[in-house]
Structure 1
Amino acid sequence: MKLTSTAFADGEKLPKEFAKMGANRIPPLKIEGVPGGAKSLVLIMHDPDAPMAGGFYHWTLWNIPPETAAIGEGEIPACAVEGKTSWGTSGYNGPQPPFGTHRYIFYLYALDAVIDLPAGSDVQALKKALSGHEIESASLTGMFGVLDNFKK
């Protein structure tokens, strides 16, 4: 399975329009090679460089249909469910590092089940629900730094 973006390459700078201090748009994501037995997909955006224990979660999305080939810029599949992030709200909230350059990792999981969690559930509940149901995973990392906030 593979996760890519037309907006940035793996390990490269995430453009400002996808940052919280920018337009805060969801970056375009391309999904390829989902295993045949997958019943749903899960997407988690995590900043492991954040100063709090366990990092910071910027976005959680589950019950993405396995046939989904892309998540368009600023759009999510209609039947997908968004959970609560470390900001305390549901939905996408892009990078806003308090210092330095951070990694923003998009983790994609193919599951053998559909997740039975209500919208707004936190990442701990999501991780517990997907545990044992993972068939395959992929990731994509974008970099964003505090100085990027001042560049056009």
Structure 2
Amino acid sequence: MKIKQVVAAVLLAAPAFMSHAAMTLTSQDITNDHTLQNQQLFNQWGCTGSNVSPQLSWKGVPEGTKSFAVTMYDPDAPTGSGWWHWSVVNIPANVHSLAAGAGAVGGKDLPKGASMVTNDFGFKGFGGACPPPNSKPHNYEITVYALNTASIKLPENASPALAGYNILSHVIGKAQLIAPTNAR
């Protein structure tokens, strides 16, 4: 009898669970599993891109979302710890997109209240892809996180790893695009 009750409870709960769409991330500039374009490539270190952050849009936001964070991370960088290209925190919950170029140094095109963390290039802004010469393609992970807090408090000199630690402690949903790139 207990098994029937459990099955009945699961079946009754299933429609509510199954009706919630998963969070998705899309871009006019990037598609999943396609190489980053010249505009998303770095413009130093031997790379000659435009260093413009991609346009991003997300939907299927979980209930209880109070803010968002966006990151671009290269797990294939030959550092032993990957490479953080971009970290944005405190994007208001009513914002579901970032325009191309929103990652410009100074953050003037970010939504009010949002801020960038110093990337591994050493500046607060978007640092495009630039894998070392003759390397295998690097898989750039662009992720939007739905958070259960309206604000993440970070010191002015916070590292992307510290931002990531704080982001991951508040995640209630996420979506990702992965773009493999050989910039040279």
TM-score by length of 1: 0.90
Which structure features the higher share of strand residues?
1
Runs of 4 or more above 6 Å deviation? none
Q: Which residue of 2 aligns with 1:17?
A: 39
Higher relative contact order (CA 8 A, sep 6+): 1
Which has more radius of gyration? 2
2:146 pairs with 1:110: yes
Alignment length (residue pairs): 147
Report 1:70-109 matches (<5 A). Answer: 70-75=97-102, 76-98=110-132, 99-109=135-145
Distance 2:168 2:136 in 1: 32
Please state whether the residue corresponding to 1:52 is helix, strand or coil: coil
- Cα-to-partner distance string for 1:16-57 (whole Å, 9 max, x where unaligned): 111113111111111111112111111111001111112111
Identical residues among aligned pairs (%): 32
Unmatched segments (≥5 aa) in structure 1? 148-152
Q: CA RMSD in A?
A: 1.4
Q: SS of the counterpart of 1:142?
A: strand
* d(CA) in 1 for partners of 2:58, 2:32: 14
Q: What TM-score, normalized to structure 2?
A: 0.75
Q: Is the 8 A contact 1:100 1:146 kept in 2?
A: no
Deviation of 1:119 (Å): 4.5
5 Å-filtered alignment, 1:18-97, equals 18-20=40-42, 21-75=48-102, 76-97=110-131
| Correspondence 1:145 to 2:182 | yes
* Preserved contact between residue 42 and residue 108 of structure 1 (Cα < 8 Å): yes
